[in-house]
A and B are shown apart, each in its own frame.
Chain A
Amino acid sequence: MQSLFLADFTVIRPEPGLIFWTTVIFAIFWFLMSKLAFKPIAKALKERENDIQGSLDEAKKAREEMANLKSENEALLAQAQEERSNILKEAKAAKESIINEAKNKAKEEAKKIVTNAKAEIENQKKAAIIDLKNQIGNFALEIAEKVIDRELKSQSEHEQYVNDLVKDLDLN
């Protein structure tokens, strides 16, 4: 059996024919597979890998841009809000100033009116006084007239009469 083992265990013997064919077949296999299959496949895989990486990068960039846009929008909004509040504030101030101005004007006007009225009153008073003076003059004249008319009947009567007249005048 010992010799039989080696006698029949042919797979361990390197056969020149098999070695020759294996060499030829594998060399052609290697060449053809590289040229027709593995190189184009590796290239396509590389391209696809790059494509995917590129797409991912682009997506990332787009996301970043989006985030930028959002923050920009937010800033814009905040700015608008601030502006709005500024405008409101200004409007309020303007309103107040207008009101104040109006009030002041009104006050001034009122003062003017009062002053005018006072002046008028003064004038009227003066006119009245003048009028009164004139009337008093007139009264005096009337009295004088009447006194002159009665012609002095008696001294006492005369005096009595003048006193009556004066009394009458006071009542006015």
Chain B
Amino acid sequence: MRNILLIFALIFSTSGMLLAQDHDHADHSDDATHQEESHEAHDDHEHGTAAHDEHSDHAEHGDHEHGHCFCDSGHAEEGFIVSETAFHHIGDANAFHVWGDLYIPLPCILYAPDHGWNVMMASKFDMGGHGNGALAIDRYVIVHGGVMRIEDESFPMGEVAIECIGHEIDEEGSEHPIVGYNGNCYQLESKSTLDQGVFGGGITSYYDFSITKNVFTMLLVFVLLLWMFTSVAKAYKKRRGQAPRGMQGLMEPVILFIQDEVAKPFLGAKYGRYLPFLLSIFFFILGLNLIGQVPFFPGSANVTGNLGVTFVLALFTFFVVNFSGNKHYWEHVFWMPGVPAWVKTILTPVEFLGLFIKPFTLMLRLFANITAGHIVIISFVGLIFIFGNSGESVGGSTVGVLASVPLTMFMMAIELLVAFIQAFVFTLLAASYIGAAIEEPHH
């Protein structure tokens, strides 16, 4: 534990670039009991903040004599698990991790069908080390900055101090997050997701409509872009007939690029109608991609690498395409002219599926590219901990730093490129799909 923190100090002093993409989650494998025991020590050692003492106090409130939930019933693997760290970092959260144990709480808007709405700041959970909350509120708890809910309905409602947060391994060998309260272990469940269990999610007892890290980042990008572009628009009005300058000069080539290289070739004379949509989607994705590259607050959110977000963007494209579709387009989808009837029986299903496959690929491409980039960067940073044997070996971690820093910097450069390319590709393909839908017949 100490060594891990030492390594962190080493990384921060070695490479400012790598900052908050990694942080303290290298010690995922730590169980809560361990935390209890070592909190005092590592508080003094590294952070020295008072927050932990509170946490520990809360933890001690519990009555250990009654039960034996130490939140340490086991862990799948000891040591640093890079995939866990990576998956945690690319995921969404209800608090914004800034530094060490400093989390910026975000508004939580939670809905449970059996309970109703809970609207509060994440700070109400009394977040301490690792973004774990010391309080359960109406059975909600916060674990690593993310809200979860205690499954057991016998758990008391209202604000309750919990003893510990940890993991438990079931018979199949998979891990479950648990909280200890009153000597008993309570299993936690994640928020509802719409994947029907295909990706390990599913409908649970509550829905999370919070302003999460991702939503916060989207709002930030929204405000930033709106401010930038309204000022550009104002500049065009104010400096009429003059050469572009400043922000206007910076944005104009990009706008003209989308207009002349994307909109005009694909949409022809009607490009003006779709240009605002294409520009909106381009700058929205680009802004989110770029802010996601920034490894510290207010960046680091993996918004465009979240399937839900790319799904919505693809859905908007789908609606724009199909609401613009003319007779010619639908004819080509459902009754391709000029081919024999038996070919039509094959073509029509294919074309019909194509309607959905096109936005589906948009959704998947953006998601996969951005997520992959983030995972690779975190994995490279993770080399330090793997080589350093989770802090056991300082020499190994030095080698890790030497290997990791150039690789990470290289990857970040690639990611910067990908941020532009993916925004461009999404816009380009959206334009081509719209173009196909509004194309006039030319026989």
In the complex, the answer to whether A22 meets B237 with C-beta atoms within 8 Å is no
A70 to B316, CA, bound (A): 61
Distance from A88 Cβ to chain B, minimum over Cβ atoms (Å) = 57
Q: Does A139 contact B (CB under 8 A)?
A: no
Give every chain A residue within 8 A of B214 (Cβ-Cβ).
18, 21
In the complex where A13-B193, A26-B284, A38-B279 touch, is A8 in contact with B91 (Cβ < 8 A)?
A: yes
- CB <8 Å contact, A11 and B255: no
B194 in contact with A14 (CB, 8 Å): yes
A17 touches B210 (CB 8 A): yes
Interface readout for B236-274 with A: 1 if CB under 8 Å, 0 if not? 110011000000000010011001000000000000100
Q: Of A8, A15, A47, A48, which is in contact with the most chain B CB atoms at under 10 Å from its CB?
A: A15
Contact present for A17 and B209 (CB under 8 Å): yes
**Nearest Cβ distance between residue A27 and chain B, in whole angstroms?**
8
**Cβ-neighbour of A28 out of B84, B222, B272, B367 (below 8 A):** B222
Q: Contact at A38–B200, with CB atoms within 8 Å?
A: no
**B280 and A42: CB pair below 8 A?**
no
Whether A4 sits at the interface, judged by CB under 8 Å, is yes
Contact A33 B92 (CB under 8 A): no
Q: Which residue of B lies closest to A27 (CB)?
A: B316
Known: A22-B312, A37-B226. A11 touches B306 (CB 8 A): yes
Report which of A1, A29, A45, A48 forms a contact with B280, defined as CB distance below 8 A: A29
B contact residues around A10 at 8 Å (CB): 87, 91-92, 190, 193, 201
CA distance A40 to B234 in the complex (A): 9
- Interface SS of B by simple majority: helix
Q: Which residue of A lies closest to B278 (CB)?
A: A38
Q: Are the CB atoms of A18 and B92 closer together than 8 Å?
A: yes
Selected contact of B193 from candidates A5, A7, A15, A22, CB within 8 Å: A15
Q: Note all chain B residues with C-beta closer than 8 A to A78.
A: none
Query: By the criterion CB–CB under 8 Å, are B275 and A42 in contact?
Result: yes
Partner of B208, one of A14, A17, A51: A17
User: In the assembly, what is the distance between CA of A39 and CA of B276, in Å?
Assistant: 7
12 A-B pairs (CB sep. < 8 Å) = A4-B76, A5-B83, A8-B88, A13-B307, A15-B192, A17-B210, A19-B311, A21-B214, A30-B277, A32-B226, A37-B226, A37-B230
- Using a CB–CB cutoff of 8 Å, the interface residues on chain A facing chain B are 1, 3-23, 25-30, 32-34, 36-42, 44-45, 47-48, 51
| Given A8-B91, A32-B226, A39-B276; 13 other pairs, CB 8 A cutoff | A11-B91, A15-B308, A16-B192, A17-B212, A22-B215, A22-B309, A22-B312, A25-B215, A33-B226, A33-B283, A38-B276, A41-B236, A44-B240
Q: List residues of B whose CB falls within 8 A of some A CB.
A: 76-77, 83-84, 87-88, 90-92, 109, 172-175, 190-195, 199-201, 207-212, 214-215, 218-219, 222, 225-226, 229-230, 232-233, 236-237, 240-241, 252, 255-256, 259, 272, 275-277, 279-281, 283-284, 302, 305-309, 311-313, 315-316, 367, 371
